[in-house]
Structure 1
Amino acid sequence: MEALATIAKERGITNAAVVSVVGAARSFTVANMKADNPREAVRTSGRLAEVAGNGEIRDGVVNIHVTCGLEGGQAVAGHLDAAEVGGPYSLHVYLQQL
């Protein structure tokens, strides 16, 4: 997330639609709202996942929501906090500047 925010800033992108996020990650962390307290985040981490999502960059702040497919057909979805890529794993983020 930090890398995407840095790249957007370097390219002068402050507002954009994140049209598509597609690829795979070595590890990831997503956050969801706690059911009885929506202001409190519940974080879930995992590894070796297929990743798909979308979101926005608004006033330079990146907000992406993803679904991470895990081995065995399980999935975790939520607000992407972090993803580690590299080696055979890469995430492609497609933007439409607004």
Structure 2
Amino acid sequence: MKQEDAEALSKDVLLWLAAHDDLLLVFLNSTGGDAESIRNGVNDPFFLAAVLDFLMMDDAWVVACCDAIGMPYDRPARARAALPGGAETHWT
């Protein structure tokens, strides 16, 4: 997957998060962010990578998001690999 495609997918995930107030609040609390940081981060590949990292913390979130967007369940992980830090080895 190209980085541009991964960024577009991350933006779709961010829109999905924004439609779920309770989950968006968890995201903001876990990142220390606010509405302004989202506006500033929407074009930052590192921020978009964090969006995918957050989503992939819970399989239920991945399933719900993928079902809503209409994409395969492995797509967020593939997109994450195309963004900064995605090619690093994770030992956990």
What range describes the TM-score normalised by the shorter chain of this pair? Answer: under 0.3
User: Structure 2-normalised TM-score?
Assistant: 0.23
User: Structure 1-normalised TM-score?
Assistant: 0.22
Q: Between Structure 1 and Structure 2, whose CA radius of gyration is higher? A: 1
Q: Which structure has more RCO (C-alpha within 8 Å, separation ≥ 6)? A: 2
